[in-house]
Amino acid sequence: MTAYTEEYRGLVAWTGGGEVTTAFRREVAALVGEGGLISEPAQLRTYECDGLTGYRVVPALVVLPATTEEAAAVVRLCARDRIPFVARGAGTGLSGGALPVADGVVIGLARMRSVLSVDVADQRAVVQPGVTNAGISAAVAQHDLYFAPDPSSQVVCTIGGNVAENSGGAHCLKYGFTTNHVLALTFVTPDGDVVTLGGDAPDQVGPDLRAVVLGSEGTLGIVTEVTVRLLRRPEAVRTLVADFPDAEAAGNAVSDIVAAGIVPAAVEMLDELAIQACEKAVQAGYTLGCQAALVVELDGVAVEVDEEFAQVQAICRRNGTTNLRVADDAQERARIWKGRKAAFAAMGRISPDYFVQDGVIPRTKLGSTLTRIREMSDAAGLRVANVFHAGDGNLHPLVLYNGAVAGEAERAEHLATAIVELCVEQGGSITGEHGVGSDKACSMTAMFGPDDLTVMARVRAAFDPQGICNPGKVLPTPRLCGERPGPYRPHPLEAAGLIERM
Amino acid sequence: MTHIDDTAVVERPATVAEAAELLRDSDGPLLFRGAGTKQGWAGRPVDPAVVVDTSGLSRVLSHEPADMTVAVGAGMPLRDLQELLREQGQWLALDPASEGSGATVGGLLATGDSGPRRLRYGALRDLVIGITVVLPDGIVARGGGKVIKNVAGYDLPKLLYGSLGTLGLVAEVVLRLHPVPSASGTAIVAVPADRATELALRLRASALEPAAVDWTDADGGTLAVRFEGTPAGVEGRRATALELLGAGAGWSTGPDEDAVWSRLADAERQAGEGSTVAAAGTRPSVTADVAHELEQAGAAAGVRTMLTSRPALGLHTARFDGDPEAVGLAVAAWRERVLALGGSVLLRDRPAAVDAHVDPLGPSPSSVGLLRSLARRLDPQGRCAPGRLGSWLPTPAPGEDLPRS
């Protein structure tokens, strides 16, 4: 069976091909001013990759519009000349979703960073796409409100990127993802039209177009304003770290918490390697040598949180916890989270290089999957650190390697891909929150069949018939994926000399 | 299974493959039907050539209690599903009034219907994690997955939310579940719309985390506020909640509490013969304005009106009784005022005679071009409930594809 239908091939066939000419550059400069234009080679390199630094492509031009109208005007020029464009926020994405297209345009939203309005009574705010995730919560904190999605990069990542990736974070177990917290979008279509998706009401009449744009990774258009839903800060928050002798015991504790009818705000797990890295980096007080540490946070109505927090502690003890650390105050809680959220960055302390994966498994398969990852890691002779959202089965295995050792990067990449495919075999997903981007486009065939992909390609073509809006992301390009169903291969753009591995 | 119903052939596929074959091998307009509780919503579709009845697609496909997920055929009635889940102490956190009329999971997704506890748990939009959809050309596509957290590919499950039978047939649905709360209590107070709105906003701004806030204009206005959680957690909020609601507020639990919510559901469902129902969505804070505008629109047209609202969400269901022309004018007038408040109004069930006097959907949104473009790609011949989205999605002439943009 082939992985693609003929219709699919036709829909995703390359249809860009326009060129950034001197005349085009002049037209763009007239729209956004010289300050909104970057075309110096050295400066363009700043935009050659996002948080997935392995893939790099220098764009022909970077445009930084200051308003929705400017962004739309730039998109109209791109559409007229069939020039591919890629929207970009802070560039913290981990799947290469903002990887530029060679000879294409990057539209950076960094200059659009105002909180336009806050409606306290209705608990919502209208913000521009360049506002940071944490910036939203900071802007409304005085009203006891906050924006619930909290990706680990929240201090720098932007709401525009959160919308593109449908970002989650540690607390999405209870509170959901970005898609659950966005009421309306001002949206520039790939033709350059400006439309509103969603609105004042919880639902609009007809198919939910807002929802299909959320998480579409910049492939359907550009979001230039976001109306976010805000939540009232919970009355009480309680956090603990419980050490366990092994991941299975920790996993059983999580199962017991869920079985008790408790919906924690967050449940995170760190293994020995991850703890080691975090402690070296930020000294957050995790126990060195501990095989599996659980971070459990409950929030809500004080009486209930206290009651359930006691239950959680009892469950941890019953499952053989070797140490229970309860955060007594907000500072201590912040320290625990600092350790957890620094995990990826901290890997540099224990390994020169790493690949991070983002597969999801049904939570009940946690124990068996971790055992299998351990076996695969041993067989490959590579270390794998695990730090993940245990409550919803979203794994973040970090495959550690040394790029200076010949062949190790390739082995690491194969191991990382094998882990992702293991997740799909277990009934899970190739990505829980990082997105498909450039990185996992070829793995889409491991999860979706030819007809599934065909329908997704139809959706994409409905928004972007010219195929100029972030092409090559999310949906696999058959000729770049080795024309083979199933297993992921190293990115052929690399072989084609279009991108380089640093 | 096939039978002829008036002019349409009614087909009842027993599998997704049968449904796909049926759609591929048939011609002409299609109408998808679960329990048929919301066939009167929005525009009136043209007479279908084939009615696809989903009651043959009503099995539980998989239930993983420990993962708190379930996959069901779209024709599964919500109340049957809830009964089955309750054995495990779980439920699909959705409580629409139409549950009592046998509404199916697929129909609820396609119509975006919800109930009071949407305030706490979100709508089906927030609870659906996977879908199998059959397009009119017979292609079967899966979107989403079986795990709660998943961002691979476009969100097809949510795209079909609110699609009202256009685009394609919802055949299977995968859902996130919640534990059944161990306790519940409801505070009730008699208040008019202005006060109800003010209280709803204060409740939202408080740390009390109400699960539902509903208001009805019956008997001068009644506000009901539900709290869920552990017994101590519910009891612990009682005094603060009653104090916030003010003098005259009462508290009920058990069968009394159930009766309060059944009455509210009945008020919303109000399937009175000859009544016209319209639903509005707005910002929560304009709820009182929505209520006053309804009163005025009704009075001006000489039409009796009734309103139930979710003032903490901004969802409102209005009922109109009277001469069809007067009702049409009243709905149109109310819509105009709700639009001015930033909201929207959708016509639901009504006598046919009302249609001549009010558009079922109202003015098209700025995104209507994208909607048409999407329909052209997924349903190029416009077979799925043509007319349901009125002028937003024009019915193509026989043999003609939808216009290009």
Q: Which two tokens stand for residue B118?
A: 């949407």
Q: Could you count the other beta carbons within 10 Å of the beta carbon of residue B313?
A: 25
Q: Give all strands of the β-sheet with A105-108 in edge-to-edge order.
A: A37-38, A61-63, A105-108, A85-88
Tell me the pairing of strands A292-300 and A115-119.
Answer: unpaired
Kindly compute the dihedral angle of the four CA atoms of residues A88, A92, A97, A102, in this order, to the nearest 10 degrees: 60
Q: Could you count the other beta carbons within 10 Å of the beta carbon of residue B143?
A: 27
Predicted confidence band of residue A479 (pLDDT cuts 50, 70, 90): confident
pLDDT at A485 over 90: no
Mean pLDDT of A336-357: 89
Question: What is the CATH architecture of B183-267?
Answer: 2-Layer Sandwich (3.30)
Judge contact between A446 and A421, C-beta under 8 A: yes
B100: contact with A, CB 8 A cutoff: no
Q: Which fold is adopted by the domain A12-233+454-475?
A: 3.30.465
Alpha helices in B311-385 (DSSP H): 324-340, 368-378
Predicted confidence band of residue A501 (pLDDT cuts 50, 70, 90): very low
- As a whole number, the mean pLDDT across chain A is 92
If phi over 0 gives left and psi between -120 and 50 gives alpha, with beta otherwise, what is residue A458? alpha
Collapse the DSSP code of B254 into the 3-class scheme (helix H, G, I; strand E, B; otherwise coil) and give the result.
helix
Q: Which residues of B touch A392 (CB under 8 A)?
A: 147-149
pLDDT at B200 over 80: yes
Q: Which two tokens stand for residue B335?
A: 């819509």
pLDDT at A2: 76
Percentage of chain A modeled with pLDDT above 90? 84
Q: Hunting for tokens 């966005």 — which residue is that?
A: A182
Mean pLDDT of A312-327: 97
Candidate from B126, B179, B236 with C-beta closest to A263? B179
Q: How far apart are CA B162 and CA B164, in angstroms?
A: 5
CATH of A236-346, one of 3.40.50.2300, 3.20.20.150, 3.20.20.60, 3.30.70.2190: 3.30.70.2190
Mean pLDDT of B239-255: 97
Q: How far apart are CA B249 and CA B199, in angstroms?
A: 12
Scan residues 203-232 of B and list those with Cβ closer than 8 Å to A: 204-209, 229-230, 232
pLDDT at A495 over 50: no
Least confident of A188-192, A299-303, B264-268: B264-268
Domain ranges of chain B: 1-180+364-405, 183-267, 270-357
Predicted confidence band of residue B3 (pLDDT cuts 50, 70, 90): low
Domain ranges of chain A: 12-233+454-475, 236-346
∠B156-A478-A473 over CA atoms, to 5°? Answer: 50
pLDDT at A492 over 80: no
∠A351-A356-A359 over CA atoms, to 5°? Answer: 145
A300: contact with B, CB 8 A cutoff: yes
pLDDT at A498: 47
Q: Which residues of B touch A205 (CB under 8 A)?
A: 42, 162, 164, 344, 346, 361-362, 389
Q: What's the pLDDT tens digit per position in A385-429?
A: 999 899 899 999 999 999 999 999 999 999 999 999 999 999 999
CATH 3.30.70.2730 fits B270-357, yes or no: yes
Q: Which residues of A83-106 are buried (b: 16+ CB within 10 A; e: fewer)?
A: bbbbbbbbbbbbbbbbbbbebbbb
Q: Are residues B66 and A232, on separate chains, in Cβ contact within 8 Å?
A: no
Q: How far apart are CA A239 and CA A313, in angstroms?
A: 11
Q: Are residues A300 and B152, on separate chains, in Cβ contact within 8 Å?
A: no
Predicted confidence band of residue A65 (pLDDT cuts 50, 70, 90): very high
Mean pLDDT of A273-297: 94
Domain B183-267 matches domain B270-357 at the CATH topology level: yes
Q: How far apart are CA A188 and CA A234, in angstroms?
A: 36
Q: How far apart are CA A148 and CA A152, in angstroms?
A: 12
pLDDT at B229 over 70: yes
Candidate from A232, A261, A427 with C-beta closest to B89? A261
Q: Are residues B149 and A200, on separate chains, in Cβ contact within 8 Å?
A: no
In sequence order, the 6+-apart residues with CB closer than 8 A to the CB of B134 are: B16, B19, B20, B23, B140, B168, B169, B171
Q: What's the pLDDT tens digit per position in B100-130?
A: 999 999 999 999 999 999 999 999 999 999 9
pLDDT at A488 over 70: no
Mean pLDDT of A189-203: 97
- As a whole number, the mean pLDDT across chain B is 94
pLDDT at A82: 96
pLDDT at B271 over 80: no
B315: contact with A, CB 8 A cutoff: yes
In sequence order, the 6+-apart residues with CB closer than 8 A to the CB of A379 are: none
Collapse the DSSP code of B201 into the 3-class scheme (helix H, G, I; strand E, B; otherwise coil) and give the result.
helix
B67: contact with A, CB 8 A cutoff: yes
Q: Are residues A455 and B143, on separate chains, in Cβ contact within 8 Å?
A: yes
| Pairwise pLDDT comparison (B392 vs A482), residue with the higher score | B392
Predicted confidence band of residue A135 (pLDDT cuts 50, 70, 90): very high
In DSSP terms, B186 is beta-bridged to: B226, B252
pLDDT at B400: 57
∠A351-A354-A357 over CA atoms, to 5°? Answer: 140
CATH 3.30.465.10 fits B1-180+364-405, yes or no: yes
Residue of A nearest to B378 (CA): A458
Closest CA to B124 of B80, B56, B177, B185: B177
Positive or negative: CA dihedral B292, B298, B302, B305: negative
Q: Which two tokens stand for residue B277?
A: 């129902």
A267: contact with B, CB 8 A cutoff: no
Candidate from A176, A212, A454 with C-beta closest to B154? A212
pLDDT at B267: 82
Predicted confidence band of residue B397 (pLDDT cuts 50, 70, 90): low
Judge contact between A296 and A242, C-beta under 8 A: yes
Candidate from B142, B282, B376 with C-beta closest to A201? B282
In sequence order, the 6+-apart residues with CB closer than 8 A to the CB of B349 are: B40, B41, B271, B275, B276, B277
Predicted confidence band of residue A491 (pLDDT cuts 50, 70, 90): very low
Counting Cα atoms < 13 Å in the Cβ hemisphere of B317 gives 26
A186: contact with B, CB 8 A cutoff: no
B163: contact with A, CB 8 A cutoff: yes
Scan residues 441-470 of A and list those with Cβ closer than 8 Å to B: 444, 447-449, 451-452, 454-456, 458-463
pLDDT at A346: 87
Q: Are residues A456 and B207, on separate chains, in Cβ contact within 8 Å?
A: no
> What's the ipTM?
0.96
